[in-house]
Amino acid sequence: MESIQAILNNPYVFAALMALAPLLWILPYALFAIWFERKVSAHMQDRLGPMRTGGWHGWSQSIADLVKLLLKEDLIPAKSKHGLFMLAPYVVFVGSYAAYAVIPFTSAYVGSEINVGIFYFVAVSSLVVVGILMGAWSSNNKWSLFGAMRSAAQIVSYEIPGTLAILAVVMVVGSLSLQDIVRAQEGWFWNWFVFGKFPFLFIAFLIYFLCSLAEVNRTPFDIPEAESELVAGYHTEYSGMRFAMFYLAEYANMFAVSAVAVTLFFGGWQSPFGTFLSGPAWGVFWFLSKGMGFIFLQMWLRWTLPRLRVDQLMYVNWKVLMPFAFVNIIFVGLWMMIAQ
Amino acid sequence: MRDYFRNIYQSIWTVLVGMSITWRHLFVPAVTIQYPKQRRPIPERARNRLYVEIDDCIGCDQCSNACPVDCISIETLKALPGEDLGTTSGGNKKRLWVTKFDIDIAKCCFCGLCVPPCPTECIWMTDVFEYSEYDRKSLLYSFSAMTVEEVAEKKRKADEWAKEEAARKAAAAAAKAAAPAPAPVVPSDLAGRTPSTGS
């Protein structure tokens, strides 16, 4: 026992353990979410989805898929840039995993409690675009490159209104630290920022949510991997384990942006009922279930809406979200000035 | 400017309408029929795999003659005088041993033409349609109730009986030849005009 204590007291070992903790959630969550998405999509289309693998409603379908992908041959196209091609999936995953460093899973656990948390999140989640471009360019495939160009254009432009929406919350709280933002929403659920400064923070939430959809390439903003026109977009040439890495990164990213939406607007790990069922352990429960709620919302939207055209995508961003985000910031700022 | 805001309002509203539709469909029972576990009822007169109730077969060969693709092949042996083959369920007396009743179901075209000619209604189309096999030879169905040994035994007995019969006939013919032939009775008025037929 004491030796374990001694090992844990080593700051490097402790840091490594804290850094790996989110993986404990991401890996089972990704398997579950892939299965869940198939079930949700199937039932929304009056189908059943996977029903055989593992017995009860095909619960182990994604495990079987994962095993299959791991056993597959690692294909590398002859005319690709081998080094970059092999590296790209890991860069994408690193980009989405690095974002987990500042996500406050509960009051007691956050990977790194830095005072510029949300700024770090916005900055590091753009790293994904580098990985996507890297993979697409090096695979020497026109569909891949098209997908990645679209992805880059989309992520870079949607980050601006998204960040402006985040800025509204930061102005209300007066801190960039995600733990501070969660603590500012203490109490019952009507203290959550989605209901605060009504309707300005609600509009900010809508803008942030739309931009987060664009950032993780989900429908209606999934033109980077539009399967009906681009085969599979930026990961057309990937197979086996590297393809699985792209998939894992996509689902990790989905949860990361949902987690930030929960943190900024839905009270993070706070219980909806004040002090009832609150505490570090319940905090994990509330945080993860709110996050999964957003995952479901993303799936729901995906199986409802058709894909936008590129010009529509740019119209929504520059002509709708951008002015609304700016006006929103001005009103929130005025409110804060008058309230003082 | 009004168009701009109406556009935004309409897009949000239509998204909500779409989401309510997909939400409703989330709870609509699925139309999927999980095939091997659940299956649709087969139409009453569907034509699928053939079946022969060999106990009722009298070996008349009519189904085989009706078959347009010749997928039914039947061989029979006559029952010997002492043997009783019993009757069919309809009461017809069976007079032939059905030593071979093979249907090559791989050739069958499911026309059902073999079914109506059968006098004892012993061949019909069942509702079994899943009978794929790994080997084509497995699709040759033998319906005869007799084993190979039984068939060989019957053939041997039939040959013996045929020999005995031939011997008996030969003996009878010899006996006949030994007896003095009676003078043919010919009507006198025709005697001059008909040539001798000499039976």
Assigned token pair, A274: 């004040």
Q: Are A146 and A230 in contact (CB under 8 A)?
A: yes
Average model confidence (pLDDT) across chain A: 87
pLDDT at B191: 52
Q: What does the pLDDT average to over B34-44?
A: 86
Q: Extract the runs of DSSP E, i.e. beta strands, from chain B.
A: 50-52, 72-78, 96-104, 123-125, 140-142
* Backbone region of residue B35 per phi and psi (left: phi > 0; alpha: psi in -120 to 50; beta: other values): alpha
How is chain B split into domains, by residue range? 50-146
Residue ranges of B 32-91 with Cβ closer than 8 A to chain A: 32, 34
Q: Are A265 and A208 in contact (CB under 8 A)?
A: yes
Question: Does the beta-carbon distance from A48 to B30 stay under 8 Å?
Answer: yes
CA distance A217 to A155: 8
Question: Does the beta-carbon distance from A300 to B31 stay under 8 Å?
Answer: no
Q: Mean pLDDT by 10-residue block, N- to C-terminus, for chain A (340 residues)?
A: 79 83 89 91 89 86 89 85 88 90 84 86 88 88 87 88 91 88 84 82 91 86 78 82 88 92 88 81 89 92 88 89 92 88
Chain A partners of B29 at a C-beta cutoff of 8 Å? 46
Beta strand pairing call for B123-125 and B140-142: unpaired
Q: Are B121 and B69 in contact (CB under 8 A)?
A: no
Fold of B50-146: Alpha-Beta Plaits (3.30.70)
Q: What is the pLDDT of residues A140-187, one digit of tens each?
A: 888 888 888 888 888 888 889 999 999 999 988 888 988 888 888 888
Assigned token pair, A121: 């999140």
Question: Does the beta-carbon distance from A42 to B30 stay under 8 Å?
Answer: yes
Confidence of residue B199 (pLDDT cuts 50, 70, 90): very low
pLDDT at B198: 47
Q: What does the pLDDT average to over B114-138?
A: 88
pLDDT at A198: 79
> What ipTM does the predicted assembly reach?
0.81
**Beta-bridge mates of residue A104:** A110
Share of chain B above pLDDT 70, in %: 90
Burial degree of B196 (CB within 10 A; 0-12, 13-18, 19+):
exposed
Q: Hey, how many other C-beta atoms are within 10 angstroms of the C-beta on A207?
A: 23
Cite the DSSP H helix spans in chain A: 2-9, 11-44, 61-71, 82-98, 117-125, 127-138, 142-173, 178-183, 200-215, 227-230, 240-265, 280-302, 310-314, 322-339
What predicted TM-score, i.e. pTM, was given to this entire model? Answer: 0.78
Chain A partners of B25 at a C-beta cutoff of 8 Å? 43-46
pLDDT at A115: 87
Residue A237: closest CA among A2, A81, A76, A57? A76
Question: Does the beta-carbon distance from A46 to B29 stay under 8 Å?
Answer: yes
Nearest to B25 among A46, A48, A320 (CB): A46
Average model confidence (pLDDT) across chain B: 84
Interface test with A, best of B11, B20, B23, B26 (most A CBs within 10 A): B26
Q: Is the pLDDT of residue B182 over 70?
A: no
Residue matched to tokens 């929130």: A332
Assigned token pair, A16: 């490594």
Q: What is the pLDDT of residues B7-31, one digit of tens each?
A: 899 999 999 999 999 999 989 888 8
Q: What is the pLDDT of residues B46-78, one digit of tens each?
A: 888 888 888 888 888 888 899 999 899 998 888
Nearest to B25 among A44, A48, A320 (CB): A44
pLDDT at A255: 92
Assigned token pair, A29: 């969550």
pLDDT at A51: 87
Question: Does the beta-carbon distance from A320 to B8 stay under 8 Å?
Answer: yes
CA distance B49 to B124: 8
Q: At a CB cut-off of 8 Å and minimum separation 6, what does A191 contact? A: A185, A267
Chain A partners of B15 at a C-beta cutoff of 8 Å? 301, 304-305
* B31 near A CB under 8 A: yes
Chain B partners of A44 at a C-beta cutoff of 8 Å? 22, 25-26
Distance from CA of B40 to the nearest CA of A (A): 17
Q: Hey, how many other C-beta atoms are within 10 angstroms of the C-beta on A257?
A: 27
Q: Is the pLDDT of residue B193 over 60?
A: no
pLDDT at B35: 87
Chain B partners of A36 at a C-beta cutoff of 8 Å? none
Q: CA of A171: how far to CAs of A193, A204, A337, in Å?
A: 12, 12, 11
Q: What does the pLDDT average to over B138-167?
A: 86
Question: Does the beta-carbon distance from A305 to B15 stay under 8 Å?
Answer: yes
In this structure, of A133-137, B78-82, B151-155, B180-184, the range with the lowest mean pLDDT score is B180-184
Distance from CA of B26 to the nearest CA of A (A): 4
Chain B partners of A42 at a C-beta cutoff of 8 Å? 30
pLDDT at B9: 92
